[in-house]
Amino acid sequence: MTINIKGLVIICGNYGSGKTETAVNLAMARKKDGIDVKIADLDLVNPYFRTREARHCLEQMGIDVILPDSQYMHADLPILAPAVAGMIQQPSELTILDAGGDDVGVTVLAALENHLSQKKVHMLQVINPFRPFTENVKGCIKIKEEIEISSKIRVTGLVSNANLIDETTAEHIYKGYDLLKDVSQATGLKIEFITACSHLIPKLAMDRFTCPVLEINRKMILPWTRV
């Protein structure tokens, strides 16, 4: 199954859900499918896992990357480049907004309400069942509602990014998918896709899934591996 997502897409999720890795790999996969892609880094909270870290490989593929002004690249301040508003007004075939984690991180979206309200927006909640607060349906729904209140935007779809970094197994992917099915049933939201690292893809029984699988090739640098 192919991921056919287009339009204006916001990637959100709680802290540590892997939403930025998901956003970056989604951008690359859709670019390989032959569509024009833009991505904006709106994560002004998390100082580590940000789209800007993958800037060079994204741009090498011909993906437009919108970042905060260079003087604010390492600042945790609510500063938006004017280009972000322009990107929303003139979106590409796929325009991805990588929002900050939790309800605090998505408050920046409320500042873009005037621009976003004029467009059809898809907001995807990335869920990792191995992170605090999203290990069960109740927790996932609570995070969803908090994000919606802070961003003033409704979540429209679900993504499972089940992983324990290097310890992830096929069983972890299955567990994440099973949880997502339960969240989907409880909320009525569509499962857009799930993710799996490239080395796990051959080990997965794809007939267990009724949605596409996004292959993840890690682009984010782990904080404890920086030198």
Mean pLDDT, consecutive 10-residue stretches, the chain (227 aa), reads 95 92 96 96 64 83 81 52 81 92 79 86 97 96 95 96 95 98 98 97 97 89 43
Q: Which ranges of the chain would DSSP assign to H, the alpha helix?
A: 19-32, 55-60, 82-89, 102-105, 107-110, 113-116, 137-151, 170-187
Which residues are bridge partners to 7 per DSSP?
94
pLDDT reported for residue 227: 41
DSSP 8-state assignment for residue 92: -
Burial class (CB in 10 A: 0-12, 13-18, 19+), 133: middle
| 64 class by beta-carbon count within 10 Å (0-12 exposed, 13-18 middle, 19+ buried) | middle
DSSP state of 31: H
Q: Which CATH architecture has domain 7-222?
A: 3-Layer(aba) Sandwich (3.40)
Return the pLDDT at 224: 35
Residues 202, 157: Cα–Cα separation, whole Å = 26
Supply the pLDDT for residue 74. 52
**Residue 83 has what pLDDT?**
76
Per-residue pLDDT at 75: 52
AA identity, residue 162: A
Q: Give 123's strand partners.
A: 10
Query: Any bridge partners for residue 66, and if so which?
Result: 40
